[in-house]
Every structure is written in C-alpha cells, then in structure tokens.
Amino acid sequence: MARRRPDMDQLNEGQKEAIAENMKERIYSTITLIAVLTALWQSNAEHSTAGDVAVIFGSVVALWLATMISIRVSYRAVHGKPISLNLYRKALFTASGLLVPAIVPMIIVIFSGVTHWYSLKTALMASIIASLLFLFGISFGAARKIYDSFWRLLLVSLFEMLVGVGVIALKLAVGE
C-alpha cells in the first residue's frame, strides 16, 4: 500500500475531517459546474465572455450561499440556538471549497475574451475538459493512497471521472 503524505499524517482527526469536507464541496461544485459549462457551451452564440464569466462565478457563489444558509438553518433547527462563531468559521472553510472549481474555467474564458486566440466555444470546451481532469486528478491522488495496482487505480479514477462525463451526456441529451 502506498504511504500517505507525512503532512496529512500530522493532522488530527478534526483537521482531516474539515479538509475532507472542503474537498467534498470542491468535487460537488465541479460536477455542478460541468453541467453549467455544458449548458453554456451548447448555447455559446447567445453569450458574451463577460456573461459566461458572470454565470460561472454566479453559479459557484449561489452554491456557496445556499450551503451557508442550509448550515445555519439546519443548525438552528436541530440545536434550537444560533450557530457558534467557531462552528461558523468551520462552515466557512468547508463551503469555501465550492468556490475553487470556478477559478480555472474563469481564467480560460477570460483569456479567450482578452486575447481572441480561440473562440468562446473552445474556451468553454477547454473548461469542461479541465473540470473533468480535476475530477480524475483528485480521484487518482486519493486512490493512490489506497491501491497498489496502477491499473486498478486508473480504473477507479476513470470510473469516478465518468460521473462528470455522465453529467455532460445527460445535459446534451436533455438540452436546455
């Protein structure tokens, strides 16, 4: 079995759990963003670079706000009191993972608009591919700690990346 990174081994269980929650949000946001990028790609003639950047940014911010509200409301509903500042800070860290997956697609789309080296449609496709590669990479990196066999590692990572491919296929099949 592959050895875990020493820096991760030095964290306590609470810290590991917070990082796992943040990573979970990144993956969730990436899958959601793939659907958004696919919709933008399908109808790119109707959008501008600024509009696409706004949609990408707005999508992850909306996910972030929805998560923050759901954390506050669910805490109040279960505990009958407001969430503490310490738990709110933890929630902010966890939910911040929702914002990260938009960075690369926004850079790709902005670069397209500024340089005109490639079309907006190409930028959106590159953003979809970058998001799929992120899913593969995060799966590969995590599974590397579990599986010794390269082929099993590759198969597991490809299978997990297929969730993103499935989202694209579903979005293309359904249309807008």
Q: Is residue 2 part of a domain?
A: no
What's the pLDDT band for 20 if we cut at 50, 70, 90?
confident
Q: Is residue 131 part of a domain?
A: yes
Q: Which residues span the domain enclosing 96?
A: 13-174
Q: What is the pLDDT of residues 66-77, one digit of tens each?
A: 999 998 899 899
Judge whether 60 and 102 are in contact, CB under 8 Å. Answer: yes
Helix (H) or strand (E) holding 29: helix 13-42
Mean pLDDT for all residues in the chain: 87
Question: What domain count does the chain have?
Answer: 1
Q: Considering all CA atoms of the chain, what is the largest pairwise distance in Å, rounded to the nearest integer? A: 56
Task: Report the first-to-last Cα separation within the chain, whole angstroms.
Answer: 45
The 10 Å CB-count burial string (b at 16+, else e) for 27-57 is: bebbbbbbbbbbbbbeebeebebeebbeebe
Q: What is the pTM of this model?
A: 0.84
Q: What is the pLDDT of residues 73-106, one digit of tens each?
A: 998 999 999 888 988 888 888 888 889 999 999 9
